[in-house]
Chain A
């Protein structure tokens, strides 16, 4: 595959980091273009005119968008190394199900837990904890969601392995902790012990500083109490 491969992403985005992880696991070289979301490049707008979002994978001049779509594209195009989806149709359906569960339920609830207050926050936290328990049930007895090797669901769950911890700290709440989610905690340890994964993660300190700044801006723009 000598065709040009380019990834448009953002350093702090778990979605573009997912794609990087898949490419690195498969040993596929690629060019990386860092986007400034406050000033989107003409290329980004050209290749993703509908959603105008990252990540965008450009392969031989043809764009693929939506991170889960990109992950399946990578799997199907570079079949040889490190399969991220199992062969069995039922297992594949399960992997797709859990990846969507992460995107549709887990991540939004966890994200909102960190940026809301009061009753709203309590509800999001409750929902997050339930979702995490469900995930734990899926992980039981396995080293990774993908079995013995990192798979689609592990890649999709990158947010939980790295971003969740940072956001919890910024928000001053606990979502994933060793006592309540021992299996998930063990998975996180296993996952981020992999060199390839570590290479893909944004520096924790940088992420922490970024979200702390964001929180300060949010608090500063809030109307003072009457």
Chain B
């Protein structure tokens, strides 16, 4: 079953401006996915998964969160034509959804499906051709953590603040987000890509070393509170937390325990707290769905590797 959104009754609501020609163009009913997860960038396969439940969940979460927002404030924040191009399984997309949910921003989720990149995606992100892309009043913003900062700045009057106020704390958060992207996530990918037990063990060591550093970072950033962002979910929580469904699936499939109470007690508790949060629950994929997805990708990866 392909994910699709029924076209709204007013078709003009669905028009997005082509950023180059400024002409409006129609969004297709169904949207092929491009890259999903960092580890499996090279795989392009038709993926038929039921994602309808996730879309409905998204609406429920966003609606529930936006109910807490004063009426009229949302509209006052500039147009409020917010669309997100993404895919349910992508941790990078999950980051942006968490940020939108935190701010109580209503948005239209345009699900890309594995295989062919949609025209909208190619037009909105011609440089990288990747999801997520946030399209706000027709203008596209790309790269997940840049989108998160954008959301934080546009909806700055809406609590919570995603980045802290103090410039030094902001620098710390940005540093750790870069660390997650440049060091930690590639180590996680390396586990899945490892062809030998030795390679796998080495990749795992790197991940554990990274998590140990993040445990120290948590101590420093949280200042005794429940999140890297303090009392509420912040920039680093989002940067790191998006991968948790993937990690849980990996734990399920391999028996590896990433978040050991003995080794990284603060992070172990943070994981549960983060996943239970209102802004996260509806967009964090269920473990069994991720396992199914991961197994499919692994099979494809193996087939591709042995075909060479």
Binding site for B on A (CB under 8 A): 50, 59, 62, 64-66, 69-70, 72-73, 76-77, 89-90, 92-93, 96-97, 100-101, 105, 134
Known: A89-B153, A90-B141, A134-B127. Contact between A96 and B171, CB under 8 A?
A: no
The residue of chain A having its C-beta at the shortest distance from the C-beta of B134 within the complex is A93
- Give the contact stretch, choosing among B30-38, B63-71, B173-181, B238-246: B173-181
By DSSP majority rule, is chain A's interface helix, strand, loop, or mixed?
helix
Measured between C-beta atoms, what is the minimum distance from A84 to chain B in Å?
A: 14
Residues A73 and B170 in contact, CB atoms below 8 Å apart: yes
Measured between C-beta atoms, what is the minimum distance from A68 to chain B in Å?
A: 8
Residues B127 and A92 in contact, CB atoms below 8 Å apart: no
A134→B175 CA distance, assembly (Å) = 27
Known: A50-B179, A69-B178, A72-B174. Contact between A93 and B168, CB under 8 A?
A: no
- Write out the residue numbers on chain A whose beta carbons fall within 8 Å of the beta carbon of B146: 93, 96-97, 100
Q: Does B204 contact A (CB under 8 A)?
A: no
Known: A90-B136, A97-B142, A101-B127. Contact between A64 and B153, CB under 8 A?
A: no
- Write out the residue numbers on chain B whose beta carbons fall within 8 Å of the beta carbon of A134: 127
- Write out the residue numbers on chain A whose beta carbons fall within 8 Å of the beta carbon of B143: 96-97, 100
The residue of chain A having its C-beta at the shortest distance from the C-beta of B154 within the complex is A89
A79→B233 CA distance, assembly (Å) = 27
Measured between C-beta atoms, what is the minimum distance from B124 to chain A in Å?
A: 12
A101→B143 CA distance, assembly (Å) = 10
Residues B168 and A64 in contact, CB atoms below 8 Å apart: yes
Which of A76, A77, A93, A105 has a CB less than 8 Å from the CB of B141?
Answer: A93
- Write out the residue numbers on chain B whose beta carbons fall within 8 Å of the beta carbon of A66: 174-175, 178
The residue of chain B having its C-beta at the shortest distance from the C-beta of A70 within the complex is B171
- Write out the residue numbers on chain A whose beta carbons fall within 8 Å of the beta carbon of B175: 64-66, 69
By DSSP majority rule, is chain B's interface helix, strand, loop, or mixed?
helix
A69→B146 CA distance, assembly (Å) = 13
Q: Does B264 contact A (CB under 8 A)?
A: no
A64→B175 CA distance, assembly (Å) = 8
A78→B8 CA distance, assembly (Å) = 48
Measured between C-beta atoms, what is the minimum distance from A52 to chain B in Å?
A: 13
Q: Does B72 contact A (CB under 8 A)?
A: no
Residues B150 and A90 in contact, CB atoms below 8 Å apart: yes
Q: Does B213 contact A (CB under 8 A)?
A: yes
- Write out the residue numbers on chain B whose beta carbons fall within 8 Å of the beta carbon of A76: 167, 170
The residue of chain A having its C-beta at the shortest distance from the C-beta of B213 within the complex is A50
- Write out the residue numbers on chain B whose beta carbons fall within 8 Å of the beta carbon of A101: 127
Measured between C-beta atoms, what is the minimum distance from B23 to chain A in Å?
A: 18
Residues B170 and A62 in contact, CB atoms below 8 Å apart: no
The residue of chain B having its C-beta at the shortest distance from the C-beta of A92 within the complex is B153
Q: Does B149 contact A (CB under 8 A)?
A: yes
Known: A50-B213, A90-B139, A90-B141. Contact between A64 and B147, CB under 8 A?
A: no
Measured between C-beta atoms, what is the minimum distance from B187 to chain A in Å?
A: 14
